[in-house]
Amino acid sequence: DAGVIQSPRHEVTEMGQEVTLRCKPISGHDYLFWYRQTMMRGLELLIYFNNNVPIDDSGMPEDRFSAKMPNASFSTLKIQPSEPRDSAVYFCASSRSNQPQHFGDGTRLSIL
């Protein structure tokens, strides 16, 4: 079975550039989550969707961050403009209602 698929695996870009991270959840899962992991702050939930609708975005750091889920099989997390402090590993996870979350292998983002 295909798990959660994230792309790209690595992204290096310069400060001020727009960054788009992509996620394909597991088919049939109706919840999708975006997390960020850093050494200093650990794993933080940024936003989650239920049936493609954003439910809680209180973890999104600021207006430079936005997330969309246009359909059940695709979601994006966009940072515009990017800053060096956005450097982190970004994880996407999906789940069925009342089931554990399945995580992708993340996107390692470096902003120079």
Partner 1 sequence: LAKTTQPISMDSYEGQEVNITCSHNNIATNDYITWYQQFPSQGPRFIIQGYKTKVTNEVASLFIPADRKSSTLSLPRVSLSDTAVYYCLVGGWNAGNMLTFGGGTRLMVKP
Which residues contact partner 1 (rule: CB under 8 A)?
A: 4, 31, 35, 42-45, 48, 50, 55-56, 91, 93, 95, 97-106, 108
* Nearer residue to partner 1 within complex by CB, 5 or 76: 5
DSSP tag of 81: S
Max CA separation in the chain (angstroms): 40
Whether 101 contacts 2, CB under 8 Å: no
In angstroms, the CA 79 to CA 83 distance is 9
Task: Report the nearest approach of partner 1 to the CB of residue 9 (Å).
Answer: 9
Task: Report the nearest approach of partner 1 to the CB of residue 16 (Å).
Answer: 27
In angstroms, the CA 5 to CA 25 distance is 7
* Nearer residue to partner 1 within complex by CB, 78 or 102: 102
* Nearer residue to partner 1 within complex by CB, 22 or 108: 108
Task: Report the nearest approach of partner 1 to the CB of residue 42 (Å).
Answer: 6
In angstroms, the CA 31 to CA 53 distance is 9
